[in-house]
Structure 1
Amino acid sequence: MKAVPGPTDHVVVVGAGLSGLACALHLLGAGRRVTVVEREASPGGRSGRVNLGGYQVDTGPTVLTMPHLADEAFAAVGDSLHARVELMALDPAYRAAFADGSTLDVHTDGEAMEAEVRRFAGPAQAAGYRELRAWLERLYKAQMRRFIDTNFDSPLQLLHPDLARLAALGGFGRLDRRVGRFLSDPRLRRIFTFQALYAGVAPAQALAAYAVIAYMDTVAGVWFPRGGMHALPRAMADAAGDAGADLRWSAEVNALERSAGRVRAVRLATGERIACDAVVLSCELRSAYELLGLSPRRPVRLRHAPSAVVLHAGTDRTWPGLAHHTLSFGAAWDRTFDELTRTGRLMSDPSLLITRPTAHDPALAPPGKHLHYVLAPCPNTEVGPSAATWRDLGPRYRDSLAATLERRGLEGFRDSIQEELLVTPLYWTAQGHAAGSPFSVSHTFAQTGPFRPRNLVRGLDNVVLAGCGTTPGVGVPTVLISGKLAAARVTGHVRRTPPVRPPASAAVSASASAVLAGGAHDPS
């Protein structure tokens, strides 16, 4: 593995999102002096927090899987995730509601899920689920260490027996077709393939290897931190501060001072100069390139994942059919993905993620009130409406979403709203997200593994990238790994991810889920 040459005693980490904070903790654990510089007034990055009239709104991911990856970062400084954050294991992980009126609770316990599938679709599908679960477990084991939790220096690193194992498992076939070998019921297939959307690829085109995301959601367990998802980056920042990190809030970087192929200092918008031996840029990939004065050297330009519209609604009521996470599927499926990724139209029959965090933490809303998060995937601004168009389109689409929810059983939804926040590609663009997408660079084959933008920068010896645009990719688990891999580039030491294990029972109660997929390539 290539590592930063020369001195690395003092490292500046730009950005205090999950990847930047994970990197900082791993660097501190390796004995480095660390300064974290964040343009916002608090940690979190995408996992931010807004107080909306007494409703505590998570502005980013609402689901958490693989919490042991976060615990690994805490452990680097002798700390513990479970000492700082109360996690609650969600059961069901999701409730799936289909257009035909049927519902299915997704359990991560194998026996419970087999019984639920048998009730929902009969014994043959239950047997298929058991086979699918075993395949997902083998797929995860074949991928994690070799293709996800690794720093790629060359595509030749793929030439390993694990590649043959992945091929033998059908990992290079198509996701929808491979899952269809186990489950013939199209509703069940959706449960194990919809995650490909967040990787930016339709299930019919996605590699079957991306089913590792479904492993995380449906096998490894889904969690929710008391206090919401923002409790995780807040706890990570506290742990980093206690371990000696210099945390700078409301501090925007506007230049990097360079000489002889190295960054010598980070300059803030205030004019302050922070001298350093190495820099980790965990900001948006596009922002990192702009700071570096470079562009990715690739044969074709980067493609970005679809975007999303999110309606945060503080309400005076809730609905008994909603679980903590509810997947509300429309009747359309293939057409939906075509609209999102090719034609650029808004979903004509939307599939939605509805999250109700107050189901497990009522303190996130005023007494007797409820908080709902409605996520509707939409085209990014490269293939769909421009960011500016969303200024007028957003309110109309919000009304359309509310009408859809009411048709699907959430009667009186519009009248129940007391506080709301609508997030569209206009907002994501203003935050610096390329193509107006919070899901960054899509996980096409040409943008995955050793072909994803690399976390080393050609021509600059001491700059490392972290975050969802680089190795290994999009999602909470992967950005935590990304921070660890960035730290390894600085220290030269690889800390291997331990096997999945349940959190310490004393700290556990209930929680939520995330997204994954792999990757690396060259930002220069």
Structure 2
Amino acid sequence: MDDDPIVVVGAGLAGLAAAVRLAAAGRAVRVVEARDEPGGCCGTARVGPYRFDTGPSVLTMPEVLAEILGAAGEDLRTRLPLRRLDPYYRIAYHDGTHLDVVEGEDAMVGRVAALCGPAEAERYRRFRRHLGEMFEAAWPVFINADTTRLRSLARPVALLRLARMGGFRRLDRLARSHLTDDRLVRAHTFQSLYVGLPPRRALGVYAVIAHMDTVGGVYFPEHGGMHAIPRALADVAEKHGARFRYGTRVERVEADSDGVRGVRLEGGERLPARHVVVTCDLPRALDGMLPPGAADWRTRDPRHSPSCLVMHFGLDRPPPGRAHHTLHLGREWHRTFAALEAGRPQPDPSLLVTRPAADTTAAPPGHVTLSALEPAPNLRGTVDWERRGAELQDRLLERLNALGYGDLSGAPRLVLDPPAWERLGHSAGTPFALDHRFTQTAWFRPTGAPRRVPGLHLAGMFTAPGVGVPPVLISGRLAAERVLESAR
């Protein structure tokens, strides 16, 4: 076993998952984080008395968190109590109808029947079960697997099963082969935005995301909002001996012909290490931090996901009758996706509005926070954000007012747009990393184990399995397991 500590660069979810796994295995771990607290993309910010979660607002597959904490002897229910949301989402359509996505097959079939009729409800029941079968086939091959190794994909039976179920068709066509009501199709294909692609271009296998949040459920920490997740992971890692250095930047990962030798911090201090797990923005890390051998053909022409415009508000009273998550789907479905692909603002954007009423840490008594997310082009698009940023913010305010949230123009607020995301360290001004086109999926995504730099391990959104809270946590766990395997 190597005597030098393992250095983890970045205390986001991937870095924390790696640190917990490694520390629980008895390894000496140092986590170096540029910010003053853990969280990374799953961050937090304050405006006056209001606290906002500035990263993901949707938590699915808590089993992944439970597994990581369980490796350290911790129980998720006591370390990080979660609340299952009811409904998981409210999907509001432009025609004034809405669909609440709720727990339980029969209950959900009833909601679909009330909206779309009994015949469509039966089609939905069959589609729901189809999604479950796809998830069972895809989970061990594409999501919970180390696709850094090509042999991990050599599962012909599983791949053939996925192909027969439509996993390699386009997502939109897959949904429409089962469902006929356009509202229901949209409810099960909007998730393609999570992987940076329109439904007509995303692979059918990404229907598993619809399974994860419409069947598996959406959760929220009972205390502290989404930022409670990295806080809990950091606490567990420290409990098992991991040491954290906050407010410290890594300038360079040092390596020679035999592999990693350590990291050089800004200011010149050197931390020796034979294994380094890097979890920060990969294109930026490749621009000077990582050894030249870390780059390969997968990193030559990265295609980034679209970005988003997010406005966080502090409100002195709750808006009436709102779910925790409400998706307001626009009328111009296909045109909005086409505009986003072309690098232009969507003409009729769909919005995700989050009102975390259960988070008592977010606002003073009687007050609440509200967040509105609008998909937007990243900085590789055609938008002059310096000129049009204020205009797009005003448009979003008008849309929220029209949707019944009231005039929020005078409310305390925090705005995150593509230039702001870039200032926070996200290349191309997007917090969603690379999109998940076929040539950036599984083994084709940037590798988590660069062959030419032994001891260097990559994790986070840029590597497989990809974007989203469960995949990022899995990437950190997989990196830790590669370290432990190599040290045997």
Place the TM-score, normalised by the shorter chain, in its bin: over 0.9
> Helix, strand or coil for the counterpart of 2:310?
strand
Is the contact between residue 284 and residue 427 of structure 2 (CA under 8 Å) also seen in structure 1? Answer: no
> Helix, strand or coil for the counterpart of 1:287?
helix
Match 1:483 to one of 473, 476, 482? 476
**Paired position in structure 1 for 2:18:** 23
Is the contact between residue 257 and residue 267 of structure 1 (CA under 8 Å) also seen in structure 2? Answer: yes
**Paired position in structure 1 for 2:38:** 43
- The CA distance in 2 between the partners of 1:465 and 1:156, in whole Å, is 19
Instruction: Return closer, same or farther for 1:22/1:8 CA change in 2, 3 Å cut-off.
Output: farther
**Paired position in structure 2 for 1:78:** 73
Deviation at 1:315, TM superposition (A): 1.4
Deviation at 1:383, TM superposition (A): 2.4
In structure 2, stretches of 5+ residues that fail to align are none
Query: After the TM superposition, which residues 233-312 of structure 1 pair with which residues of structure 2 at under 5 Å, given as runs?
Result: 233-290=230-287, 291-294=289-292, 295-298=295-298, 301-312=301-312
- The CA distance in 2 between the partners of 1:363 and 1:256, in whole Å, is 38
- Asked if residue 142 in structure 1 is aligned to residue 140 in structure 2, the reply is no
Instruction: Return closer, same or farther for 1:151/1:293 CA change in 2, 3 Å cut-off.
Output: same
Question: How large is the RMSD of aligned CA atoms in angstroms?
Answer: 1.7
Is the contact between residue 14 and residue 472 of structure 2 (CA under 8 Å) also seen in structure 1? Answer: yes
**Paired position in structure 1 for 2:345:** 346
> Counterpart amino acid of 2:108?
M
> Helix, strand or coil for the counterpart of 2:404?
coil
Deviation at 1:380, TM superposition (A): 1.2
Deviates more, 1:345-354 or 1:312-321: 312-321
> Counterpart amino acid of 1:307?
S
Instruction: Return closer, same or farther for 1:381/1:296 CA change in 2, 3 Å cut-off.
Output: farther
- The CA distance in 2 between the partners of 1:308 and 1:261, in whole Å, is 42
> Counterpart amino acid of 2:235?
D
> Counterpart amino acid of 1:362?
T
> Helix, strand or coil for the counterpart of 1:408?
helix
> Helix, strand or coil for the counterpart of 1:414?
coil
- The CA distance in 1 between the partners of 2:255 and 2:461, in whole Å, is 25
Give CA deviations for 1:100-133 in whole Å, capped at 9, x if unaligned: 1111111132111111111111101111111111
Give CA deviations for 1:195-222 in whole Å, capped at 9, x if unaligned: 1012011101111100011111101111
**Paired position in structure 1 for 2:320:** 320
- The CA distance in 2 between the partners of 1:449 and 1:103, in whole Å, is 35
- The CA distance in 2 between the partners of 1:404 and 1:247, in whole Å, is 43
> Helix, strand or coil for the counterpart of 2:361?
helix
> Counterpart amino acid of 1:51?
R
Match 1:186 to one of 167, 182, 201? 182
**Paired position in structure 2 for 1:501:** none
- The CA distance in 2 between the partners of 1:383 and 1:207, in whole Å, is 23
Match 2:217 to one of 221, 228, 246? 221
Query: After the TM superposition, which residues 446-461 of structure 1 pair with which residues of structure 2 at under 5 Å, given as runs?
Result: 446-461=439-454
Deviation at 1:270, TM superposition (A): 2.9
Query: After the TM superposition, which residues 303-452 of structure 1 pair with which residues of structure 2 at under 5 Å, given as runs?
Result: 303-341=303-341, 343-357=342-356, 359-385=357-383, 389-415=384-410, 417=411, 419-452=412-445
> Helix, strand or coil for the counterpart of 2:464?
coil
**Paired position in structure 1 for 2:62:** 67
Deviation at 1:194, TM superposition (A): 0.4
Deviates more, 1:404-413 or 1:64-73: 404-413
Deviation at 1:193, TM superposition (A): 0.6
Give CA deviations for 1:344-393 in whole Å, capped at 9, x if unaligned: 11111110000001x212331112212001000001111232xxx32342
Is the contact between residue 29 and residue 77 of structure 1 (CA under 8 Å) also seen in structure 2? Answer: yes
Deviation at 1:177, TM superposition (A): 1.1
Deviates more, 1:445-454 or 1:149-158: 149-158
TM-score (norm 2): 0.95
Is the contact between residue 55 and residue 364 of structure 1 (CA under 8 Å) also seen in structure 2? Answer: yes
- The CA distance in 2 between the partners of 1:296 and 1:312, in whole Å, is 39
Deviates more, 1:102-111 or 1:226-235: 102-111
- The CA distance in 1 between the partners of 2:244 and 2:323, in whole Å, is 37
Instruction: Return closer, same or farther for 1:460/1:406 CA change in 2, 3 Å cut-off.
Output: same
TM-score (norm 1): 0.89
Deviation at 1:27, TM superposition (A): 1.1
- The CA distance in 2 between the partners of 1:297 and 1:58, in whole Å, is 35
> Helix, strand or coil for the counterpart of 2:237?
helix
Give CA deviations for 1:449-490 in whole Å, capped at 9, x if unaligned: 111111011311000000000011000010010001111111
> Counterpart amino acid of 2:350?
S
Give CA deviations for 1:11-42 in whole Å, capped at 9, x if unaligned: 10000000000011111222211111101000
Give CA deviations for 1:234-261 in whole Å, capped at 9, x if unaligned: 0100010011101111111012222233
- The CA distance in 1 between the partners of 2:68 and 2:299, in whole Å, is 35
**Paired position in structure 2 for 1:517:** none
- Aligned residue pairs total 482
> Counterpart amino acid of 1:376?
E
Is the contact between residue 313 and residue 408 of structure 2 (CA under 8 Å) also seen in structure 1? Answer: no
Instruction: Return closer, same or farther for 1:269/1:256 CA change in 2, 3 Å cut-off.
Output: same
- The CA distance in 2 between the partners of 1:150 and 1:412, in whole Å, is 47
Deviates more, 1:69-78 or 1:238-247: 69-78
Is the contact between residue 306 and residue 378 of structure 2 (CA under 8 Å) also seen in structure 1? Answer: yes
